[in-house]
Amino acid sequence: AQSVTQLGSHVSVSEGALVLLRCNYSSSVPPYLFWYVQYPNQGLQLLLKYTSAATLVKGINGFEAEFKKSETSFHLTKPSAHMSDAAEYFCAVTLSGNTGKLIFGQGTTLQVKP
């Protein structure tokens, strides 16, 4: 069965520092993976998705993620944090089948300090 684990419920970085949000997945089939961002009192916005075309995926707002099959990981990074990056980030994997259901990680809250 597919599952997603996000290591670290809270991550704090200084403005301008590297952002690294960790996501590990478990899947018996080749996974399709997503990162979403949620700003306070808003819905989820897609940051990027892994579709097996390339292991390094670039998304919006300067974020990127690298799919590493050997490590079953899909960590999200950004070279230089901006205050506007403060939000909650969710990693998700698609369940196999035609329901389109997603399994979400528990989320990581990113705090950016000035």
Partner 1 sequence: SQTIHQWPATLVQPVGSPLSLECTVEGTSNPNLYWYRQAAGRGLQLLFYSVGIGQISSEVPQNLSASRPQDRQFILSSKKLLLSDSGFYLCAWKGQGELSNQPQHFGDGTRLSIL
Our finding on whether 104 is near partner 1 (CB under 8 A) is yes
Q: Which one among 43, 56, 70, 114 touches partner 1, defined by CB under 8 A?
A: 43
Our finding on whether 41 is near partner 1 (CB under 8 A) is yes
Neighbours of 96 (CB within 10 A): 15
Our finding on whether 46 is near partner 1 (CB under 8 A) is yes
Per the structure block, which two tokens stand in for 16? 């301008």
Amino acid symbol at 88: E
**Residue 84 CB, nearest distance to partner 1 (Å)?**
18
Q: Which one among 3, 14, 42, 61 touches partner 1, defined by CB under 8 A?
A: 42
Beta strands in the chain (DSSP E): 3-5, 10-14, 19-21, 24-26, 33-38, 44-50, 56-58, 64-68, 73-78, 87-94, 102-104, 108-113
Our finding on whether 49 is near partner 1 (CB under 8 A) is yes
- The nearer residue to partner 1, 35 or 78, going by C-beta atoms, is 35
Q: Are 64 and 80 a contacting pair, CB within 8 Å? A: no
Which residues here bind partner 1, judged by CB under 8 A?
32, 34, 36, 41-46, 49-52, 90, 94, 96, 98-102, 104-107
